[in-house]
Each structure stands twice: as C-alpha cells, then as structure tokens.
Structure 1
C-alpha cells in the first residue's frame, strides 16, 4: 500500500518511510503485533500527522507485503524506482518498535550500511533535538534482514532503527506475538514514532510559503564558476532579490528576478565550494526562502594516479594466494569482466583463514591540498567478515581506517575524500579483508584512482558589488577584503578606471563624473595588493536618472540620528505625507514596520541588534531607501 504526499517545491524528490504489514509464525496463528503491526502503525501515525502540513519534498508512505519471505514487496518497488530514475533522498524503515527488555533504557539500535551514514547522522541529530530521552546506539543485524536493504541494494540510502539487535522480542514468529508479551511498552513505540515524525519532517523540509530558486546548476571553467538557476515556481509576487551563497556566506545579491546567472571569479584550485541561492520577498509575509538545491565543485581536480590491474598488480603488494588477495582470479560479482584483485573465502571453505592487505606503492600526496580515492569494488558479505579501506602516512606506520565498506550485489564505484593527515610524501593506501576465520563469501577491487588538486594562491577579489542611482550620483557598495597586503580598491566604469581608494574599510563610492541622463553605466571593482591586482568583482549596471522616476528624492527626506545608538528610536521627516516606514535586515526580512500618514514620525528599534539595515519610506506614489546603521552602546 502506497500513499503519496506531493511536495510544494520539489515534487520529484522523495522521502520514503515504510514498514511491512505481513507476519509469519512457526505456529498456527501469526498475530504479528510487534513484527510488524507496531511498525505499520507507526508509519500510519507519521502519515496522519505530517499530512496536515506542506513540505518542500514529496513524502511517500509505504506498507510492504511479503517481507517475511525475502523483502519481496519493498524489493520490487525499490527496483522499479531505481529503473525509473526516481530521486529518492532517503528511506526510513519501521520494523519492530514495541518491545523493551525489562531494565533497559529507551533506545534504538541503528542498522545501516556506511553508504547511508548521512541519514544516520540526520536521524541522530533530530532525535537529540526532539526526543531527548531516546538513545541511538550502533547495532548489528544477525540472522535476518528488513526492507531498508531493498533501498540500499538499489543505490538509495536506507536506515533501520530497531528496538534492539540482541534483546528484541522473543515472541516474534509465534502465536504469542501479541500486545502485552511482545508489544510490552507502548511508550517505546511512541518514541520511535516521534523520532520518525521528526526525521521525515526534517528531511522533507517544512515549506515556509516562500518559493526558492529552482534547478541550480554549475559549470566549472578554468578560472571561474558559472552558476545558473530557474526562477521560483511561484515567486513573482513581492520578489525582492536573489542571495547567492558560497560555503554558507552571501557573495552576491541580485535584484532582478530574471537575472538568473552569476559568475564567481574568486576561486582557488584545491578548494571545494558549495553554492546555493535563496530568494528574498517583501510584504507582510516576506522574508528569505529556503535554499535552492546545493551544487559543489573542487577546483583544479585531476587524475594523478591510476591502477587498472590489467597486466598485473602494478606495484601493489598482495599475498597472491588463497589466504588473501589474488590477482586475475574472477569471483561471482556482476559488472566487471576485466582483471582485478579479489579474495574468495567461499572458494577455500572452512578451516582456511582469509586475511590480507592489498597495499599500494608509496604515493607522494604532499603537494596536494585535496585528494580523493576512487575505485570500483564488489563484496558479498556474510555478516562475520569485514572489508575496509585504510591508509598509513609512511611504510611501517600503523594502519588507520578510512571507511568500512558496505556489501553490494555487484561492482560499484565508490569515492572517499582523503583526510589531511594522509597527504604525506610517503603515503600508502590499502584494502583490508578478514573473514575472521569463518566460511564467508568474496570481494574484489579494480580501477583504483587518485584524484587530487594542488592549491594555488589567488588575490582576494571584492565581493557583492551593488549600485543604485541616487539624486545626482550613482552609489556603489561592496564587501571588504581581508587586510593581507592590501593597497587599494580600484573602481572601473565601462572598463575604464575612474577612482581608487586606499582605505580597506571604505567600501562605498559615489560616482558624480560626467553622468548623462538616461545612460546606463557598468561598474566593477578590483583590489590591488603588494603582489599585484586581483581579478574583477561582479559587474553591476545602473541607469542614471537624476529626476528619479517613481522614487521620492533622498534630499526631501531626513533620517536621524544615523548611525543610531542601539535602543533609541529612528526619526524621520519628509516634504510629503509618509504612509509607512519599513525596516529590513540584509537578508530582506522585515524587522520593523509602522503606519504613519503624516510627514514626520519615529520607529522603535530597541529590539534590533547592532548592524546594517535598510529603511524604506513610502508615500502615496513614491518611495526612498536609506541605509541605517545601528551601533552598540
């Protein structure tokens, strides 16, 4: 049974929550109270609560059939979802949530492969915030499985918070799986459900009524990054500006809703940049939207090392016998018909301990600021064996685990960012396998790559240049640069330098030079350092209009005191009757507003923190904008 709650912003991105509704028994009856009426009821309760709200992402609620005979229902659905290319952000599984061993604290044992760690982290975070007396412990599933595996096996992330991996209900799969002996703690089931509500609501993102920019995309060029996006799906009303964020800091503000392109020229090789864009709206219900999707890039990445093992081990050290890694011996994993490294505990059977490191040659990683290990691997595990990626800073040092790998149904490509500690001149990487002296299965590794970038030093470029025509001049503002070697800001108009400023904190300029009515001027700025001149900032184009079409002239309005000490009221006077005064913060959110209907008045600002604000004064037909600086006592 499937129920779909359509997302308001990203209807084609999905959060899935489910549990199986079938039960089985070794006896005549199979009531299945804990396994899994408890989980199914939890899914239904989550749906009841969340269906009353609107979310950015689509939520799919599922009750699976035939889990007890091999994950049949969820396996079929997840396989079809993968074939259809569904963008499933994550899956939460509810299976057996009602039994608590006497004397135990409220907790869950988390079952998830390492590939689903981002979902585990999110679950732990929301439980810590909203269900504070519900511990999340690491668990190991022995002798069974559940529907989260269907999602992990099809390339999605799935997690399974379980009542207890060792002390679960002893009554499942019997006619005693009843409320009372088996579902013996309704409060535990409630906590599982509360955690599920918090997790799904957080992952699906509650819609705040403000539509974000859509479909942010990135193009990496040699010396810059091009960003482009689509306008909000329903965001034309009261639109004010786009805010472009890089690594969670605003680097540009764009005031035209149709201007959906930004070029970031302030980049360095070897640095990873994460971008997103928001939309700011005015009005009574205005503010800043949720972020768009995030796009990321690491500049200057290139493949520096590659081992395909076609003609041998290519410098890698292995045992090359049936007690460890072997070269050129195929195992029963789909997706690769070439030579590779493999182990096969199943082939040698019990009595032979298969354990070995496949060790790389020494690699000089010291010249790189960032490096990734990419490889193809496959592993059919047997719960008792282990397979991991490790490194050491030089031969003879102790191995340090990078990541414990997850089982797969065939070869898959995997990527790991190497920690800074691994970037030495004598680094070694290895794939470690140990069947722990049990009769296990097999694994393989192929096409190992190092992808890295050298860090380059570039001169910092001034950010977030803005411009506007005010009375008899054009006013420019920008964000300051750091003070390392700074000499001057250079102001360019129509590609010709018109001014320079030697004070690093002076980040405004009023252009009054030979301005022509109705003409549009294009500006950018740079910074000069002891080492030379930086690249150019973003460009802004401003049409000079000294009369002021549709705007109340600034010289007819007085705002005082400005700067304003924190706690005082801002006062204003004008030559015309003022209808309203609104104060915005730099994110475009309304922080104060008042109705006036007279040419003078004041606005209380005691609740505002020190900082920069924008004051908008409206008359019947015109408006003017003033920057307001509130200072600390």
Structure 2
C-alpha cells in the first residue's frame, strides 16, 4: 500500500509542478542585443549630423547641406535605408505642426521624423526611443551661427538610428517607434506634437525613452566615468486628479508612477544584459530646474523617462564656439565618447526589445488587506495577451528603491500573500510571457496604472 501511495504521488507531482512552473528568468536574445551597437556607426552618424553646421529649429530648411531641413531629410533617408535592409519593416513618416512662442517669434513648421516598426499581435501598444535633432549656441534665438550639437543631441539621434538597425532584425508583439524630434531647445515642441499625434492614433504608449546627451564621459569637475548612466523619472503622474491624489495619500504610490516603474525596469534590464553598466535612478522628473522631451509625454499621460550620461561638461552645452582664458567652449565631436554612446544605445535596445516582446501590463490592479495579516492583489488580463504564461507579484520594503521580493503565481487574476502585511511593503504585479519576457510592474490603483 505504501508503494502504491508513493507511486500515485510521484505521478501527480509533474502535473502539479507544471501548473506552477515559472517561465525562464532571462531571454538569450537580449544578451546579443545588449552588445550589438556599433561605436563606429554611431560616430559616422554623429559626424554627419555635425556636418550640417547648425540644426537650430529656426535655421535653413531649403539647403541640402546646411540647417535643420537638410538634417531631418538625411535622418529620414537613413530610416528608409534601414527599412529597405529589413524588407520594408519600418514605416517612415514625418509628424509636423506649425508653432510660435517665446523662443519661436514667427510661425515655424516643427518636423519630427519617425520610423514605426509595427508589432505582430498588439500593434497599438507602443514603446519609443527618442532623440532631439535641433542644436543651439549661447543665444537661443541665434539660428545662423555654427552649432555642432555633437553630444546635445546628435548622440541621441544617432542612438535611435542604431537601435533601429539592431531591432529591425527581429519581430516583436508590440510596436517600436524610433523618433527624431525637433524644437526641443525652443520649448519641447516636437515632443508635444508627437504626443498629441499618438493620442489621435490611439497608441497605448507603455514607455518613452528620451535620450538627451548620451555621449559624454568627462565631467566638468574632472571625473571620467564610462560605466554609469542616469535615468530620470517623475514620481507622481502629472495627470493625477484631485480624487486620485487623495486616494494616494492613504495608500501610497508617491514613488510608483508608471514612469518610476519604467525606470526600475530599465535598471534591471540594463544591468543584466549590458556589460559594465550601472544604472542610476534619479527620483526627479529631470535635472534640477531643467527639462527634456519626455516631459510632454508625461503631460499627455504617457510613461516616459530621460536617459543620459552621469557627468555633464557645461562648457560643452549651449555655448558659442570659442576659446577664452585657455578654456575651449562648444559641443564638438572631440567631446563625444562613441563606445559609451554605443553602450547607452544598447541599454535602450534591450529595454525596447524586452518591453515589445513582453505582454501588456496587467490592467486594473487592486489591493486589499487592511487589518489583516495577509495581502491580496487582483487584476485583469490585458487585451492581446498572446503568449501570456501568467503573472508575477512583486513587493519591497517601503524604503527600498527596487523590487526586492517576487513570486510567480501562474495564470490567475487574484492571489493572496499569506502572512505578508500590507502596511509594511509596497506591492505590484507584472505580466509574464512564455519566453520569460515581463511587462513593467504595475502598482495598484490609479497611481501606478499604465
């Protein structure tokens, strides 16, 4: 009888184990993507962008060799070249509007160049990498002086082009957009135009990776650092309502906006798949008192972050080309470290690929467990959940910056963590694909909803 009991138990174990067997913890293709960017190609692209003399938003749009018009037409031609090499996998378009404002005294057409790599099963779910085309010197209205903009921000545009070369060799469930935005130095106009277009198109944007200066490793204080990168993210959603803020006061979420959990996702992916890279999360929308092109997307309700070098050299930003008192000013090619720009491009590429392969984040995540020793989370299956294996619950101490604990719970829409008190931790849920790809973690309630 004992033998029969053990035999029956042994037969039952595989079925039980398979019910709870978690997908793989890593995806092999991401290691290749994390090493794929070419410093030589990035150098070539930055050199070409610098060759246009100036890319100021108000500069020449007719010339084939100088000004922002020539620059954006070259970017468009490069995206089309990349698309040709992948059998037409990219849809290359321009998204434009005519604007005027404090730094644009006369009505001016602001033109964004974007390449769209449509997803196979969930094309309305979008992740985006963006860089800024335009450059400037000391006087923000000086559209005629030479303004190389090698690091700020030819490096970001070159990164977007290189990421398109890498990722266009793969196919994804979600859509990837590679964007070269205009009008950043004049007031973040290009980002606002594209964010509005995204809403009109019904895009469900899960991530905007704004790359603004990704090529400098030498700080103005003498520090040399090619290993770290900063990721800036807003703490609470800009579009939060009064009622949502009132709820957040009692349930938490001040450091768990979708943008903040996107930053955590970038850190996890980058440090796993990109060699010799440490990702520093900055709990701030942007550098102190300053702005970038992810902000218009945040203001439209989309998760977005700024990715950039850790150490800045202010003599090389927004400066007339000159030498004074033995100090050389200006944003020129000699201030760009191309292998470092390639490394940060790899960070973007693995993040975009992981997000686009993963299922959509779970919807309507809620939590309960007040005056109880247990915590229960509930959620809804996202639309287009192809290849969905199940879900993983995450939790961390309220003082931790990263998710510390997790449990794969299978294909269910509710789970109770026994003897884990809701008061002592922050919680979230991620969707998990059969190949191990995961969505960002979703914090319960409107504070964390994607």
**RCO higher in structure (CA 8 A, sep ≥6):** 2
**For the pair shown, which has the larger CA radius of gyration, 1 or 2?**
1
Say which structure is richer in helix. Answer: 2
Instruction: Give the TM-score taking structure 2 as reference length.
Output: 0.49
Say which structure is richer in strand. Answer: 1
